[in-house]
Structure 1
Amino acid sequence: MKLRLALVLLAATIAPALAQSGPNESLQRQACMGDAMRLCGAYIPNRRKVQSCMASQVDQLRPQCRAVFDASVQAERSQSVRGR
């Protein structure tokens, strides 16, 4: 039961933390849940801390997660440039 709750909190934390207009939530969750738990589990459910933690350890992300994370960062940058 605790594991299920942790996974639900993680999914709710990671998906929005990665990006809003980048890869879809399902893809983000599938690619990065393991890395988020392994590297940044102490920061769940704080979305900003999980995102910051993953960004600071991007070299330790699995290739699938890194690709999604990089795409999300790019989408976030594009969105902020358009907002100016």
Structure 2
Amino acid sequence: MRLVFGLLAIGIGLSGGMAAAQTAAEREACMPDYQKYCSGVAPGGGRIFECLAKQLDQLSPACKKVVEAHAPK
């Protein structure tokens, strides 16, 4: 499970639209959505964040808030 959290943090944290590192609460908010929609996405280069952003309408309210907060303006 730690590996999955780490991969999510790396994938989201390296996206071009993210200015700050993810908090544990933000990673936790998106973990179920990551596992459901993006588990096959290789981390790095913002690919996980992009995947979650493409599923925005399907995300849990908590994860949707995280993705929207870190989306490029």
Q: Give TM-score, length-normalised by structure 2.
A: 0.72
Answer yes or no: is the 8 Å Cα contact 1:40–1:53 preserved in 2: yes
Q: Quick one: distance in 2 between partners of 1:15 and 1:29?
A: 10
State which structure, 1 or 2, has the greater radius of gyration over its C-alpha atoms: 1
Q: CA RMSD in A?
A: 2.2
Q: Quick one: distance in 2 between partners of 1:32 and 1:54?
A: 9
Structure with the higher fraction of residues in helix conformation: 1
The equivalent of 2:13 in structure 1 is 15
What is the deviation of 1:51?
1.9
Unaligned runs of 5+ in 2: none
The equivalent of 1:59 in structure 2 is 57
Matched-pair identity in %: 32
Distance 1:4-1:56 versus aligned 2 partners, 3 A rule: same
Q: Quick one: distance in 2 between partners of 1:68 and 1:6?
A: 18
- Kindly tell me the number of residue pairs found equivalent between the two proteins: 71
Answer yes or no: is the 8 Å Cα contact 1:15–1:28 preserved in 2: no
> 1:24-43 maps to which residues of 2 (within 5 A)?
25-26=22-23, 27-43=25-41
Answer yes or no: is the 8 Å Cα contact 1:19–1:72 preserved in 2: yes
Unaligned runs of 5+ in 1: 78-84
Which runs of structure 1 show a deviation greater than 6 angstroms over 4 or more consecutive aligned residues? none
